[in-house]
Amino acid sequence: MSASGSVSRPASLLVIFGATGDLAGRMLLPSLYGLHRDGLLATDFRCLGTARSDLDTGAFRDQVRQHLEKRVPVADRDTDSVARFLDRLEYQAADVADSQSATALTERIKALRTGDVLYHLSTAPRFYAPICAVLGAARLAGAGTRVMLEKPIGHDLASAVAINDGVTATFDESRVFRVDHYLGKEGVQNLLALRFGNALFEPLWNARHIEQVQITVAETIGVEGRGDYYDHSGASRDMLQNHLLQLVCLTAMEPPSQFDPSAVRNEKLKVLRSLRPIEVADIPNNSVAGQYTAGAVDGVAVPGYRDELGRASNTETYIALRAHVDNWRWSGVPFYLRTGKRMARRATEIYLQFRAVPHSIFANSGAAVEPNALIISLQPEERIELRLMHKTPGLDRNGLKLAQVALDLETSDAFKQARRRLAYERLYLDAIEGNGTLFVRRDETETAWQWIDGILDGWQKLGISPKSYPAGTFGPSSAVALTERHGHSWRE
Ligand code: NAD
């Protein structure tokens, strides 16, 4: 392994399984185009799309051209570079369940292969093991090949283990790249830069100085036609097990010795292993499940979850937890986690509230001193805000007046010149180069599932069904009690 954490030479062939799917059209191919346009793909780099759809290469290229026209801003594409990008693309129709078409596919891969190969499985996860088996049987899965997997890796621990066993029967773990696209976001990586590139925060980043942590992933959208998938999943499996717990890891982890795949992922794993299981007896006071009913989001009336789905359902579209990371650094600090659909505003943010000053010298003049807070917003815009107490200007004959003000670093202003990149640009570049730092290791996925399974089993044992909340709010009223009972309030 090189110092950059790469396991091998850059791949010269990317094979996308599920290349006609929604994710490929919206994210994968536009991201690959971004890398092409910026000269980050080698001259001999090719991409072979494969899916069940009966297309030839010409029709696939036309389809991709339309996706690019829809997805890539005009300023970021030009006819010439699009044409040269489309020339890199090939297509082979194949149904993984049909051995004849699978053979045609493996022959095509052999014909196109000039060096290392990256396979990206962007199909339903039940195909992951069969696809790997086909590649293995065709001797296309040995040294110099690696595989990238989309979420969800399973539905619970047992199914995650089955998928991982199926994939690692062909590709050893060092060649498996599990995607959590949050890790490809600039803002998420910037959390590491903020913590470990500055001397200022780390000495305060612990239970002695931090009173509480809140991590919110709030969406304003509903299930948007993905109802059947979502109803089997719910907020805990769709968002908490992966994206939200990855944010917990990056917020809570110890400094890794280096920014490399093993060091970073070892530290993240320690956080997941330190998450205190939420036992059945703790469930009522430490977890809240919700489901939205009709309401209004941004002034527009929207239907409830069951109406969108077209049937009754007990699936949670909201989950809030009071969690603990049981180690020296975080002993006693609550981590309030919440994610939901049809919330009042779209926000992904990490909020760290520092402890109050030990003694306020302004108490006699009646000035309240509020605790400092650091807010790291990842969506809708990237922004870092440090809340400090400040004197309100004036002569203050009756004593100083104070107000909380924000030291605000809006990164889109600070780095105006930089193009806002799609998360998959970072992820593709790293996977092509064989660097797994921003991908999820098997033990992380399975440890996260184990923790989530404990909560979902507890809900089942106690017969907990989601409390309703009107669309356009921040969840059921019991979520307020989850924090207030401990003297804390959600940031809204
Ligand atoms: P999709 O249903 O839009 O596309 C599925 C693709 O798989 C199509 O290209 C289809 O032709 C192909 N396919 C289906 N059956 C096949 C078979 N038997 N043999 C060969 N190919 C077959 O799905 P999607 O939304 O693009 O999602 C793809 C993967 O990405 C899934 O694992 C999904 O969970 C994951 N994912 C999707 C999104 C998203 O926003 N769409 C987000 C996160 C993760």
Which of the pair, 151 or 8, is modelled with greater confidence?
151
Q: Distance (Å, rounded) from C-alpha 342 to C-alpha 304?
A: 9
21 CA → ligand 1 middle, Å:
5
2 pLDDT band, cuts 50/70/90, is very low
| pLDDT confidence band for 368 (50 / 70 / 90) | confident
Give the lowest-confidence range in 276-280, 362-366, 466-470.
362-366
Closest CA to 423 of 383, 382, 385, 384: 382
The structural domains of the chain, ordered by start, are 11-178 (3.40.50.720), 183-484 (3.30.360.10)
Contact 437, 443 (CB under 8 A): no
pLDDT for res 411: 67
pLDDT at 353: 98
pLDDT tens digits for 98-137? 989 999 999 999 999 999 999 999 999 999 999 999 999 9
How far apart, in whole angstroms, are the C-alpha atoms of residue 318 and residue 150? 23
CB 32 within 8 A of CB 14: yes
Amino acid present at 244? L
What pLDDT score does 412 carry? 65
> What order of strands is seen across the sheet that includes strand 373-379?
402-410, 383-391, 373-379, 347-354, 210-218, 334-340, 318-324, 287-293, 467-470
Instruction: Calculate how far, in angstroms, residue 157's C-alpha sits from the geometric centre of ligand 1.
Output: 22
Confidence of residue 8 (pLDDT cuts 50, 70, 90): low
Question: Residue whose CA is closest, atom 9 of ligand 1?
Answer: 18
Average pLDDT, the chain: 94
Closest C-alpha to ligand 1, atom 43: 151
If we measure between CA atoms, which residue out of 231, 219, 228, 264 comes closest to residue 246? 264
Dump pLDDT digits (tens) for 468-491: 999 999 999 999 999 999 999 999
Q: What is the pLDDT of residue 373?
A: 97
Is 243 one of the annotated active-site residues of the chain? yes
Show the ligand 1 pocket: residues with CB < 6 angstroms.
Answer: 18-24, 51-53, 94-97, 122-125, 150-152
Q: Hey, which of 95, 120, 122 would you mutate to test ligand 1's pocket, going by the most ligand atoms within 8 Å of its Cβ?
A: 122
The span from the CA of 348 to the CA of 378, in Å, is: 5
- Note whether 195 and 205 are within 8 A (CB): yes
Would you state the pLDDT for residue 401? Answer: 86
* Residue 454 predicted with pLDDT over 60: yes
